[in-house]
Chains A and B, each alone.
Chain A
């Protein structure tokens, strides 16, 4: 193959579990890297995002930085994929949506157990939190979703191989789960 498929990945408000799961495709990784080339990704620590064929997003949208990175990925990716529960419905981070942002910050930085030097950070270097955590499809257009917390290595493998072969993606029963 003359041109490898260019793939970039990132984790927004997530736990990197989906990336771990990507590595869980084990020895098939060797096959994968004959087919794809990883651009920006926490796996290779490339920070600069170039135009890619597939952008894979883990994690939901919790702060202004998440929004910026997500939009950059949307701009640079031909196909954008939401991977994992957080990207799809906010996931565990979205459990803070039960509370006011103020309550969350006060608990973390003012009133919580073991807080020293209580103050809510306001340094301009720090991205501000959004009122609520959102799934990524509420901020940008998403082309594919890959559920799971995390999706299994097999699910990711099925997805990538079928996508690369241009087939409609069909998952066997055991490869679709939300947890």
Chain B
């Protein structure tokens, strides 16, 4: 089971050891913690604090079959909640609790990146997509028969790329090693210049100039430098990195190696989100293939001293680890807490070393620019946003999947291409992004206009936008790392108030509170998660006021909790059920759950 061969000895691998133990034992027992504590000389409480941070790690056993339904809004729109209820019913199990015989656990998890083929679930870390009632029935049977996962029908585990529009990036294949040969022939400075001339900006969403990032890291004073591929594609509704890692891994890894060659790094990491663990084997094989082909490892392409090795680290269910400083903490085996900046990772990153963290798509694009030249890239796109962008399109459209568009393409053109029927909204750049309404569909995908890391979720005119708001509000309350006050407390306060609104118990006063909290989160939060976690609220306040207004009570005030329910314990204890044992609320005011 141990990917790390010998006995645990590297404290930076703590999270990786824990993931292996979880995989082997279905939980991390007190004994395992004690053993690890001795081996790594890390206090047990610190190990527990890491376990408690990551959603996929547990100190009590999960079922032999551990099922997690992807709970993104697109999964819900495709009927995931009903399918989960069906499965729970068929297996006679309660959501979240292992069945008494330990056979199975059924629960939800944040978006698993299968929105183009949802509803989806993970079973012991393997995704099953395209769920429907029939498939759920079969799954229930296989579980009751205790059929080992390897004997389940192979088609269950098929993951499609669903590429519906390919432009330069997905059509111009490069030969293995082209970018590295260009580097060796033309030199690091020329290649760095080329990436700079191509105006390549980070594809994860922030849009920082890639060449500038590489140069800053190259200039940082240090004996060792690090290249990290951010494959923690956790933003709800995005899945293009999944496709790149599945079908274009060679170019992604070559992009990392190119970066290493340019900046002088000898060590690299792919931080792969736990939800994509099923890609681990193929990625490891690809790394080995490249080592065998002298495209990776020591003396790459026989160039003396061009050494670069890559380790794959898994995440374990924490959206925040997509934030680069949190990712680096996680990579070092810690809880994924975003760090203050400055210092920036390019000067002080992984274990204090200068580190480049790039998105999967950025690295792949850099690889292609190296061999095709900068004009190849700048010929596409706008003046401020060069090249093309991969979009992960899901939701209410006929052809969800991957679309590669030149930067500057309008939202409305994209909606036509993907077969969106009567769209009322597009959620761009994921739950943390913007909610565009109909009058904004003329806006363009570009850094200077509608900027996105790639998520593009479509909502048709029959959708209740508050479903989305509630889904995102719950998501952020679940995924807040808890480090800073506004995000930690604010996201839960908002989640609770949105629930109150959703069940039509809120008043105008509650809306004012939601807005006040949302603004403080935006202004005062420590990291990008916190500052963007209330975007969906503030956007839908503006763009979809009706979704809120039609649920509001006309009264000025409603209680914060269900008054009659608040007497339930006393009624149960005393056995009373007379009139005075109840609190009746005026119909205008009270909770009616």
Q: Residues of A with Cβ closer than 8 Å to B? A: 64, 67, 100-102, 105, 120-122, 124, 127-132, 134, 137-141
Contacts and interface: CB of A to CB of B under 8 A. Distances in A.
Given A64-B583, A141-B557, A128 B563 contact: no
B569 A64 contact: no
A67 B583 CA distance: 8
Q: Which 7 A-B pairs have the closest CB atoms?
A: A122-B574, A141-B557, A138-B560, A128-B570, A130-B566, A101-B569, A131-B569
Contacts of B583: 64, 67
A127 B569 CA distance: 13
A93 to B, nearest CB: 15
A121 B561 CA distance: 26
B576 interface: yes
Contacts of A141: 509, 556-557
Given A122-B576, A127-B580, A128-B576, A139 B571 contact: no
A178 to B, nearest CB: 19
A101 B437 CA distance: 48
Interface size class of B (residues with CB under 8 A): 20 to 34
B62 to A, nearest CB: 28
A55 to B, nearest CB: 15
A163 B566 CA distance: 34
Given A64-B580, A64-B581, A124-B580, A130 B557 contact: no
B557 A132 contact: no
A102 B569 contact: yes
Interface in B507-558: 509, 556-557
Contacts of A122: 574-576
B573 A120 contact: yes
B150 interface: no
Interface of A is mostly: mixed
11 contacts: A64-B580, A67-B583, A124-B580, A128-B567, A130-B566, A134-B561, A138-B561, A139-B559, A139-B560, A139-B563, A140-B557
B578 interface: yes
Nearest to A101: B569
A128 B570 CA distance: 6
B138 interface: no
Nearest to A137: B560
A17 B441 CA distance: 62
B568 interface: yes
B559 A138 contact: yes
Identify which of B566, B567, B569, B575 gathers the most chain A CB atoms within 10 Å of its CB: B566
Contacts of B566: 130-132, 134
A102 B580 CA distance: 19
A88 B573 CA distance: 28
Given A101-B570, A132-B566, A140-B557, 8 more contacts: A64-B580, A101-B569, A102-B573, A127-B580, A128-B580, A130-B566, A131-B570, A134-B560
Contacts of A121: 574
Contacts of B567: 64, 128, 130-131
